[in-house]
Amino acid sequence: CFSRVGFVGLGNMGGHMARNLLKKGHRLTVFDVNETAVSNLTEAGANGAANPAEVAEVADVVVSMLPSNQHVLDVYNGRNGLLSSAKRNTLLIESSTTGPFVSQTLANETEKCGVRFIDSPVSGGVNAAKDGTLTFMVGGSKENFELAKTVLEKMGSRVVHCGDIGMGQAAKLCNNMLLAISMIGTAEALNLGQKLGLDAKVLADIVNSSTGKCWSSELYNPVPGILDNVPSSKNYEGGFGTTLMAKDLGLAQSAAAKVEATIPLGSLAHQIYRAIIAQGFSKKDFSFVYQFLKGQE
């Protein structure tokens, strides 16, 4: 079991995840380029470091939770990066959403240094990070998975071994691509129904007891007023932003191009979310696609 844990990337997700590690009794050393993010954690009992290398110097396991690919590569390989000081057998857990190929590249580099590595992206948003109920999708050896599980369980309620390196990322991208497609489909059907004269609640009820039912129709309906406590009923505030969805769809698109997989609906979903962002709705929840399709009244 690891006692000395490091954490790099203390943003919307990582800040809460690091706090949960502290609460569960880990000695924690943290770094973020944003000094306020670091001081929030040091006030809660963590040690602050000046760069990723200082984190790896004192930790047996380091979790990273960064915006995207280049940040992850910088934190690992840059000047004063994790790999410049990680000791043999240190376990590096990469939880940012990057796609499978970045993880595979990092796994090759870490192996050369005798350092253990897994990819472990998450599903569940900021609230799940706060409540410690994230799902971790893990790619890597069974041995490293079992080691990582002891730490990941402190931040999540499900830790699933998806296969070899990169397969956590692959699972994450496939799920989110399907989520985008099913959200757009739900929005499209509910918009059409209303234009044809149906009441949205009646139609949602029919869908949810018929073959069209999906998570987006049942638990995250994009039409305001059908469900309480979902972003569509709160002016599409909070939730999972259109920018993050477009990012994940872009990663799915690049990954698909690399393996020559045909993803017509995934590609279209990517373009739809990019158009929503281009029209100024980057801060809205991804269920905003319903308003985008409906247009102005």
Interface residue list for ligand NAD (CB under 6 A): 8-14, 31-34, 37, 65-68, 71, 74-75, 96-97, 122, 125-126, 240, 244, 247
Cβ-proximal residues to 72 (8 Å cutoff; 6+ apart), any chain: 64, 66, 94, 96, 98, 102, 106
Residue with tokens 């000094």: 35
Max intra-chain CA distance, the chain: 66
Residue 44: CB minimum distance to ligand NAD, A = 15
Active-site residue flag, 195? no
The one catalytic residue in 172, 213, 247, 294 is 172
Residue type (1 letter), 72? V
Residue 122: CB minimum distance to ligand NAD, A = 5
Q: Which residue is nearest to ligand NAD (CB)?
A: 11
Task: Choose between 75 and 106: whose C-beta lies nearer to ligand NAD.
Answer: 75
Residue 219: CB minimum distance to ligand NAD, A = 16
Task: Choose between 4 and 247: whose C-beta lies nearer to ligand NAD.
Answer: 247
Residue 96: CB minimum distance to ligand NAD, A = 4
Residue 87: CB minimum distance to ligand NAD, A = 20
Task: Choose between 203 and 230: whose C-beta lies nearer to ligand NAD.
Answer: 230
Question: H or E segment at 127?
Answer: helix 126-131
Task: Choose between 68 and 194: whose C-beta lies nearer to ligand NAD.
Answer: 68
Query: How many other CB atoms are there within 10 angstroms of residue 257's CB atom?
Result: 11
What is the tally of helices (H) and strands (E) in the chain? 13, 9
* Cα torsion angle, 181, 184, 190, 191, sign: negative
Cα-based distances in Å from 124 to 14, 132, 155, 245: 13, 10, 11, 13
Residue with tokens 């057998």: 89
Task: Choose between 60 and 248: whose C-beta lies nearer to ligand NAD.
Answer: 248
* Cα torsion angle, 66, 71, 76, 79, sign: negative
Q: Annotated active-site positions, please?
A: 172
